[in-house]
Each structure stands twice: as C-alpha cells, then as structure tokens.
Structure 1
Amino acid sequence: MVAVLALVTVTSLVFNAVTTPPPTLPAPSGADLVVGGTRVHYQRWGTHGPPLVLVHGFAESSVAWGPAAELLARDHVVYAVDLAGYGYTDFTGRYALGDQVDLVDAFVRRLGLDHPVLIGHSMGAAVVGGVALAHPSDIGGIVFVDGDGLPFANGSTGSGSAGGGSGPARWILRSPYGISAYRLLTRSARLDDRLIRSNCGATCLGLTPELVEAWMRPMRQGAAEAALPAMAANGVLSLSPDQLRAIRVPRAIIWGELDLRSGGSLDDARHDLGEPPTMVIPGAGHLAMLGDPVTFAADVEQVTAGMSAAH
C-alpha cells in the first residue's frame, strides 16, 4: 500500500507539473468593466427593451445563458455577468454572499440600468435574492431559476467570508491528488459533455460541443484552481427562509420539471417567496435554460412582463 501510494503521489506530481495552466486566459468574447476596483467580465445581447441581468450558478459562468440570452435579446437588453471567482471576472478571494451581492448591484449602478430584472440560476438565486434584500430600489424584480436560495442539507448558509468551511475539504482540493482530479475533469471533453448534459433533463436543445468548450475554458485557469478551495469550503451561497420571506420586490420562479433536488425544492421556493408566478418547463432538468431555451425565454417574457413598471 505504501508503494502504491508513493507511485500515485509521484504520478500526480509529475502530471501536475506538465499540465500547469496559465494564471489567467483572455476572454474570447464579451467586455470588462471595473466595479469597485474589481474587473468584472460580462456579455451583452440586444439593443432595446427592458434590461435583464442574468446571474449564473456554482461552477458556471455567463456562458451558460448564451442560447436563451440570444432569444431574450429580441425584446430586451440582456446582460450576463461573471461573479467574482468565476468565468473571466477577477479572482478576488472575496466570495461570500455579501461580496457577490455588492458586485452585482455595483454592476447595475455602474451601467446605469433602469430597474433591471435580475434572473439567478441555482446558486445565483441566492445572489439576486440578496440584491433584492439589500438594494430593492435598484431593481425591478427577481426570478429564481432552478434554485430555492436555501442552504444544502448540511446546514451551512454559505454566506460566511472566504476561508471558512472544513479543513479536510480545503486540504483535498489543495493536495496534488485534488489538483490532478480537477484538471482531468476540466480537460475531458467527453466527460464535460456528459456532466452538463445530465443536468439538462430529457432534452438538451441548447447544448453544443462549442458551448461545452466555452463553459470549461475559464475553469482551466490557474487562478480558478487557486480560488476553488476558498469557494468550495464556504459551500453554495444561500439565504435563510426568513430572509427569503422578507423580499418585497416583484418575484417569480422558473423551474425544470425534472429538477427534483439539484436546485433545492420548488415547493420551498414557492412558499418562501409568497407563491409568486411560477413556470415549470416540461422535460427540462436543472439547466432549464439549456434544456429548452425557447420555452425558457418565453417563460421569462411572461413572468417579467410589467415587473419594472410595477416596482
């Protein structure tokens, strides 16, 4: 066993040495904006209509919204933002919920958007919910997409400062074995496609090989590897039920029919948000916006109609 462990360790160290990624990679599309001293990367679609700001979930980036955003851009100016530590936004070391909430709100203010509707997927639901709590006058409404905004069953709120969480989790992710596993995972096109596709549901109409590659590319940056232990140790960002019930801006929910627990509970989301308008996409899974982009875009149009005006 000692010999096997030594062999695995040496192999891991050699593999890591020959696959060392660049610290950062240039973004192939989109634009950057300095917000509160942080360089924030985002993508924009559309030229007219009420603004929408799309906020991704854990292990995602603005890329996840592409197919649906193109459809929404027919009647909206659409922005998809990379949160700190994700995509091509700066890796700041500050990944707590309050940090991401402040980043999104500052982004809205910096662009001078007039009461945009914020749409958050999975973990992004907690972020847009946090903006609704902290800065309600800046936005027109929120939409939770396959995310109830609550913590996982382990009880962690995911709202603490970076650097918290369990020591074993941080050690594993920083160990040679954790680094090797991460690089193998993010460099296998077949495995990456299977992982993303498995979250789409019965269909995955918005997924292409090009989108899979664009999704994984920013995760291959050295800075992304360095940020992962801090983000993972804090858990997925979340709010408490009392915080969710305190949200007063217009709100709605869009959920994939086959997403039973990946984003939490649809019933909990409806209860905590006060039974808002809810759309369930047939055959879609956790990645509802990729499972059926056409239906997703139509549902966004329906639930956001008049939100900004009502606010």
Structure 2
Amino acid sequence: MRWLRRVGVTLLVLVLLVVGGSAAYLGWDRLAPVRLDVPRPGFDVDAAGVRTRVEHWPAARPSGRPPVLLVHGFAESTYVWSRVAPLLAADRDVYAYDVRGFGYTDRVPPYDLAADTDQLGGVLAALGLERPVLVGHSSGVAIALSWALRAPGSITGVVAANGDGTPYFGDDRTTPGAGPRWLLVPPVAPAAVTAVVRHRAVVRSVVAAQCGPGCPVDDAAVDRWRAPFLEPAAVDALVDVVRRPLIGLTDAQETTVAVPTAVLYSSDDESFARPQALATAARLRTHLVTELPGARHLALLGEPERFAAALRPQLDALG
C-alpha cells in the first residue's frame, strides 16, 4: 500500500507539473506571440455568416468553360493550391477559399460537415459562380460531395483528389475514424500544438514527408504553412477540430451522389492509394480515374505541373 501511495503521489505530481507547465507556456506565448510577415493574398467574403478568405486566379484565355472552386483539406489553406491554381487558370477562372477554422477565415464553430457545407454554399453565392466544378483535396472531398448531395443542380461536377470523402481510415468501414481525443485536454494539447507551430522544424518535416522531393520547404514556404496557425485563437480552433469526429459521408451516401465525378490519386499516398481510389470511383460510379505515379499526398504543391496535367482532362470531361 505504501508503494502504491508513492506511485500515486508521483503520478499526481507529474500531472500537476505538466498541466502547470503547459499553462505557463501558453501564458508566455500570449505575452510574446510569434507573428510572421508573409503574403496574405486574396479577399474576404461573407459565406453563410462566416468571414471567409478567397483567392481568385482569372482565366488567362477565357474559354467559357465552367469555373473551378478548390476546397482544401485538414490543416491546409489556400496556400496548398498556390502553385497549381495558376496552371489551371490557363483557360478558366479558378477560385480557392479557406475552410472555416483554417487559413485566414474566421474561426467559427461548430466544426462539422453541415457547417462546412453551409460555408461552401455561402462562398458560391457570394462569388456568384454558375455551376462550377468543385475540386476537393483530402478531407475537402467530403465538403465538396456534401454540397453535391445538397444542391446537385448548382455545380457541374466534383473531383475527389487524394481523398475519398468518408470519415474512415484503412479497411474498417464500420466505424468513423476517431483518434485519441481524450489526450487533447487543455492546456496540454494547445501548449503542444503551439510549441510545434512556433518553430519550423516539425512543420518542415511533416510537409516534406507528405509532399515529396519537389516540395518547397525553405523558410519562406514553411512560414506560409505556419502563419495561419499563429493567428489569435487558431490553435484552440485546431484542437477543437481534432477533438470532433472526422467529417465525411458514409459509403451509402456517396452512392447517391448524382453529379458527374472524377477521382485523382497519388500512388505513394499512404492514406489514399490505388485500392481506396478504385473503391471511391465504384461508389461514385465514375470511370474518370487518374493516377499520379510516384507522387504523394501533397502532389498539388510538390508537383504542380503533373497535378495540373492530370486534373485538366478531368475538368474538361466533367464540363
């Protein structure tokens, strides 16, 4: 019993030290915040009550083809489209926006699929886009497909790029993916995330691993990733997003999508490789499936020319 009491007291002391240290670190961060002088391109619109940052790349040679609206994934921003969007804008208008909770859009909960879908509809209305093609990347596929179910007549089609639009991981299709959310307790989780985004090393490593050898990982590029997460309340919003169930449609819901669709995947993307891409295409009943051999999850940033070359025929086919 004496030994158990000592262990209990030791654990309690450790917990108090971690919690106290985390709280002190967050207090220091608020007194000495990091603010980065990075480009913040774009403009703001009101999208279903959410101040939303939008970027626009006008068509270099207008062709009358449907415009494209790009929807980024988890922990991303319009920056991930910054290298490929100008290539897609050769003959059509291209737009991208920051999903609620990320980038330079307001952090407005709830962070769930219904609210994200409302925001997407608000962006379409604010920009006055007529039947655009939606291109979702990673978890952004779920938002694009969700809007396709809600208002199919308002869009021309959807491209699912590096994501299947469901809240699952791996081969288990019975339960939504749910990480160890019990670990995300305040102030420990916000302090850990803050420590990561205040420094370049971890961000650089993660981006390089997901992006491949062609990815920009110089200090300026890494700061483009970090800057939105250094905005006031950004870390709290990120932790809140991670605590919630992953956004996504069920397999059954995807089979009811009625708009034309296409699937684009990278062969070396561990989260969405050939088996997942073919299964997604089967649910969406599309034969438009394109592989990027040797590419990774963030091929749109690391290999923009190849990504654009693969995506452009799909856009033309949907249009």
Which category describes the TM-score, using the shorter chain as reference length?
A: 0.7 to 0.9
The answer on whether the counterparts of 1:151 and 1:157 sit within 8 Å (CA) in structure 2 is yes
The equivalent of 1:222 in structure 2 is 232
1:296 aligns with 2:312: no
Change (3 A) 1:66 1:207: farther
The equivalent of 1:233 in structure 2 is 243
1:77 aligns with 2:77: no
The equivalent of 1:182 in structure 2 is 193
1:199 aligns with 2:215: no
The answer on whether the counterparts of 1:206 and 1:292 sit within 8 Å (CA) in structure 2 is no
How many residues get paired?
299
3-state secondary structure, aligned to 1:43: strand
The equivalent of 2:137 in structure 1 is 121
The answer on whether the counterparts of 1:123 and 1:238 sit within 8 Å (CA) in structure 2 is yes
Q: What CA deviation, in whole Å up to 9, does each residue of 1:35-72 have, x standing for no partner?
A: 22211111111233531100011111111111111211
Match of 1:285 among 275, 296, 305: 296
3-state secondary structure, aligned to 2:269: coil
Question: Identical aligned pairs, as a percentage?
Answer: 32
3-state secondary structure, aligned to 1:102: helix
Q: What CA deviation, in whole Å up to 9, does each residue of 1:74-115 have, x standing for no partner?
A: 222111111111111111112211111121122112211121
Match of 1:34 among 46, 49, 56: 46
Match of 1:109 among 108, 114, 125: 125
The answer on whether the counterparts of 2:265 and 2:272 sit within 8 Å (CA) in structure 1 is no
Further displaced range: 6-15 or 40-49: 6-15
The answer on whether the counterparts of 1:35 and 1:107 sit within 8 Å (CA) in structure 2 is yes
The equivalent of 1:249 in structure 2 is 259
**Offset of 1:9 from its aligned partner?**
3.8
Matches within 5 A, 1:4-15: 4-15=14-25
Q: What CA deviation, in whole Å up to 9, does each residue of 1:194-245 have, x standing for no partner?
A: 10110124x3345553232112211122322222333112232110111111
Provide the rounded CA distance (Å) in 1 between the counterparts of 2:28 and 2:22: 10
3-state secondary structure, aligned to 1:148: coil
Further displaced range: 299-308 or 203-212: 203-212
Q: Which amino acid aligns with 2:76?
A: E
Aligned Cα root-mean-square deviation (Å): 2.6
**Offset of 1:287 from its aligned partner?**
1.1
3-state secondary structure, aligned to 1:222: coil
Matches within 5 A, 1:13-32: 13-20=23-30, 28-32=40-44
Change (3 A) 1:33 1:77: same
Provide the rounded CA distance (Å) in 2 between the counterparts of 1:279 and 1:5: 50
Unaligned runs of 5+ in 2: 1-9
Match of 2:155 among 139, 156, 159: 139
3-state secondary structure, aligned to 1:95: coil
The answer on whether the counterparts of 2:266 and 2:272 sit within 8 Å (CA) in structure 1 is no
The equivalent of 1:162 in structure 2 is none
Provide the rounded CA distance (Å) in 1 between the counterparts of 2:17 and 2:128: 57
Q: What CA deviation, in whole Å up to 9, does each residue of 1:104-141 have, x standing for no partner?
A: 12211221112110000110011101111111111111
1:261 aligns with 2:299: no
The answer on whether the counterparts of 1:253 and 1:270 sit within 8 Å (CA) in structure 2 is yes
The equivalent of 2:7 in structure 1 is none
The answer on whether the counterparts of 2:190 and 2:239 sit within 8 Å (CA) in structure 1 is no
Q: What CA deviation, in whole Å up to 9, does each residue of 1:2-52 have, x standing for no partner?
A: 555444444333221111277x99972210001222111111112335311
Q: Which amino acid aligns with 1:234?
A: R
Change (3 A) 1:149 1:101: same
The answer on whether the counterparts of 2:42 and 2:55 sit within 8 Å (CA) in structure 1 is yes
Considering only CA atoms, is the larger Rg found in Structure 1 or Structure 2?
2
Provide the rounded CA distance (Å) in 2 between the counterparts of 1:193 and 1:301: 29
TM-score (norm 1): 0.87
Change (3 A) 1:284 1:208: farther
Provide the rounded CA distance (Å) in 1 between the counterparts of 2:84 and 2:289: 18
